[in-house]
Amino acid sequence: MTPTQEQVLARIGQIPSLSVVVQEVLASFDNEKLETAYLVSKLNQDQALAARVLRVANSPFYGLNSSVATVSEAVVVLGFHAVRSLALAASIVKLLPDSGTQRFDQLAFWRHAVGTGVCARVLAGRIGLDQEAAFTAGLLHDIGKLALSAYFPDVVDAILARRDGSGSLMVEAERSCLGFDHAAVGHDLAQLWHFPEAIRLAIRDHHAPERAPAPLTDIVHVANTLCYALDIGSGGNDRVPPLAAPAWARLGIAWEELGGCLRDIENLDAGMNLLITD
């Protein structure tokens, strides 16, 4: 039986809460005055999380001259915002259970998520917006797909069959099968986890950036398309989704700049993938 959006919400309400540490780190996106010492002390309370952050900090893409052994050093050399977004990414990657359907390629999903986060980060850097909030929003933009595949595997099988039969995008097949889509489910989950509003709206509107135009939403919308164009992982589509002309225009990135963006994206993506590999 096809679930309603309320039934989906009721089910994802049972997803384990984010740890207190992660919730506090997340809430700090709205608190520019948060002190470094506070972040370091919070991360040091979760050693598995700290270890994953250090692993990425030590990847060659940061080009550091010596290895980073502690969270404090990571904050010094990478910057406060970068460490915060890495910590958040590392914790959420491990939170949702594996997909319940064999047809949903979880590794390809996370590669697409990280790739979109990286695309968003690079785009934000080009136009002077918060790169770390962009990375986080990009990383989590399809979290609704993961929740659906984890808790409603039969429904996702039907959606995938519809996609294959009609040649449509996942989001179109979801709307056709369910009457709502993964972006709405992701938004529900983001509310449940008390994500900052700009990130919540970017998740909700990444396929409909005209619904409530906002810089972060525009970035995630474009980043998603770029990630498919670069063939990095897959969020369930084997083709590049449409690019909304107003969202692209609002970013104000010239076509001549795109080659440099693509190069930065591919270099950074290789380092960030250490978040999801064992």
Partner 1 sequence: MNGKGKGLALDERVVGCRLAQDVRDAAGRVLLAAGTELTAAVVASLRQRGVTGVHVEQALDAAAAAAQRQATTRRLAHLFRAAGGDELLNRLHQEVLAYRLEKLP
Residue numbers at the binding site for partner 1 (CB under 8 A): 55, 58-67, 167, 225-226, 228-231, 238-240, 242-243, 245, 248, 255, 258-259, 262-263, 266-267, 270, 273-274, 277
Residues 6+ apart with CB under 8 A from 150: 96, 97, 98, 99, 100
Give whichever of 24 and 264 is closer to partner 1, judged by the CB atom: 264
Q: In whole angstroms, how close is the CB of 273 to partner 1 at the nearest point? A: 7
Q: In whole angstroms, how close is the CB of 250 to partner 1 at the nearest point? A: 13
Q: In whole angstroms, how close is the CB of 173 to partner 1 at the nearest point? A: 14
Cα angle: 89, vertex 95, 98; to 5 degrees: 115
Give whichever of 34 and 253 is closer to partner 1, judged by the CB atom: 253
Question: Is residue 108 within 8 Å of residue 234, measured between CB atoms?
Answer: yes
φ and ψ at residue 104, rounded to 5 degrees: -95, 115
Q: In whole angstroms, how close is the CB of 2 to partner 1 at the nearest point? A: 26
Give whichever of 113 and 147 is closer to partner 1, judged by the CB atom: 113
Cα 241 to Cα 116: distance, rounded to the nearest angstrom: 13
Q: In whole angstroms, how close is the CB of 229 to partner 1 at the nearest point? A: 5
Instruction: Give which of 272, 276, 275, 277 is closest to 61, Cα–Cα.
Output: 272
Token pair listed for 252: 């104000």
Cα 28 to Cα 23: distance, rounded to the nearest angstrom: 9
Residues 6+ apart with CB under 8 A from 263: none
Give whichever of 12 and 78 is closer to partner 1, judged by the CB atom: 78
Give whichever of 154 and 164 is closer to partner 1, judged by the CB atom: 164
Instruction: Give which of 196, 200, 147, 201 is closest to 174, Cα–Cα.
Output: 147
Give whichever of 35 and 231 is closer to partner 1, judged by the CB atom: 231
- Cα torsion at 58, 59, 63, 65 (round to 10°)? 30
